[in-house]
Homo-oligomer: A and B are copies of this chain.
Amino acid sequence: MGRTRVAFQGERGAFSEEAAYVLAGRTISPVPCRSFETLFETISTGKARYGVVPVENSLVGSVQNNNNYILDYGLHIVAESHLRIVHCLMGKPEITLKKIRQVFSHPVALDQCRRFLRRYPRIEPVSYYDTAGAARMVSESTRTDIAAIASPLAASEYGLNMLRKSIEDKKINYTRFFLVSKKSRPFKGKAKTSIVFAVKNLPGALFRALAVFALRDIDLTRIESQPSRKKAWEYHFFVDFKGRIDEDRVRKALAHLREIAHFVKVLGCYPLETKR
């Protein structure tokens, strides 16, 4: 029997691959995808059963297009996970910190390690398209004065030596990942539900939409506005709340929301992650 195929964006050793193991288990077959578009096509065409999608980072904010992709491809969110982002400096086994003159990584990762990099002004930070890609490039290069900033998984994937662990400026650096699929998945216990809705651009419209949750003591855990991409300055609101889609008060809240919003779609109902 084949192992479950789980698509992720990036090269082997990406943070998304780490999230794939957390979300879908160690025995999966990870399917690396060049871009998010490829990832969503891979799930949509059935070449992978699940996909791992970063949607939000506690420092940088929303990974905007991924919310829209989930909506556009009509996929279901079946699980969530909050992964702590640990950036490590890594080089070939023979390299020491002293020898390094250039360090390669994704611009966001370089930005998140600014304090560390300031302490070593002779190391020049160089932007690279991907953290794991930078690790691979360093492992394949003949140069002995370069390093990469990437995940611990990337170090083991490419046989690199971790010179410094956890060099990120802020430790509250978490990324929230969704596991998405063409089909929803039954489960028991506490749940979270993700929806998206749009209201007319009228005074108080959003307030009235949020009333359907507040009046029923439903706890919103995220609200995010994204351009609708249909009309300038019209928004979709991506909202997550604690509750099961089959609960009475949730059903009533969504029916109430449909009276107010001209567009409502449930993106998924999935187990509430108890530990962050």
Interface of A toward B, CB cutoff 8 Å: 56-62, 64-65, 82, 127, 129, 170, 172, 174, 203-204, 206-208, 210-211, 213-214, 217-227, 229-233, 276
Which 6 A/B pairs are nearest by Cβ-Cβ distance? A207-B214, A58-B232, A204-B214, A203-B219, A61-B64, A207-B210
Given contact pairs A62-B64, A276-B232, A57 touches B227 in the complex (Cβ within 8 A): yes
Residue pair A203, B218 in contact (C-beta under 8 Å): yes
* Nearest-CB residue, chain B, relative to A58: B232
* Nearest-CB residue, chain B, relative to A237: B223
Residue pair B207, A211 in contact (C-beta under 8 Å): yes
State the number of copies, please: 2
Question: Across the interface, which residues of B come within 8 angstroms of A221, CB to CB?
Answer: 233
* Nearest-CB residue, chain B, relative to A68: B61
Question: Across the interface, which residues of B come within 8 angstroms of A64, CB to CB?
Answer: 60-62
Question: Across the interface, which residues of B come within 8 angstroms of A170, CB to CB?
Answer: 229
Closest CB of chain B to A119's CB: distance in Å?
18
Given contact pairs A217-B204, A218-B203, A231 touches B172 in the complex (Cβ within 8 A): yes
Closest CB of chain B to A207's CB: distance in Å?
4
Residue pair A58, B213 in contact (C-beta under 8 Å): no
Question: Across the interface, which residues of B come within 8 angstroms of A225, CB to CB?
Answer: 222-225
State A238–B203 Cα separation when bound (angstroms).
17
Residue pair A220, B206 in contact (C-beta under 8 Å): yes
Could you write out 18 A-B pairs with CB less than 8 Å apart?
A57-B227, A58-B232, A59-B229, A60-B64, A60-B227, A62-B62, A62-B64, A172-B231, A203-B214, A203-B217, A204-B214, A204-B217, A206-B220, A206-B223, A222-B225, A223-B225, A232-B276, A233-B276
Residue pair B203, A220 in contact (C-beta under 8 Å): yes
* Nearest-CB residue, chain B, relative to A221: B233
Q: Which of B129, B217, B233 contacts A58 (CB 8 A)?
A: B233
State A82–B232 Cα separation when bound (angstroms).
10
State A14–B230 Cα separation when bound (angstroms).
26
State A170–B222 Cα separation when bound (angstroms).
29
State A223–B224 Cα separation when bound (angstroms).
8
Closest CB of chain B to A167's CB: distance in Å?
18
State A58–B276 Cα separation when bound (angstroms).
33
Closest CB of chain B to A69's CB: distance in Å?
13
Question: Across the interface, which residues of B come within 8 angstroms of A208, CB to CB?
Answer: 214
Residue pair B61, A227 in contact (C-beta under 8 Å): yes
State A214–B204 Cα separation when bound (angstroms).
5
* Nearest-CB residue, chain B, relative to A211: B207
State A251–B231 Cα separation when bound (angstroms).
32
Question: Across the interface, which residues of B come within 8 angstroms of A233, CB to CB?
Answer: 58, 174, 221, 276
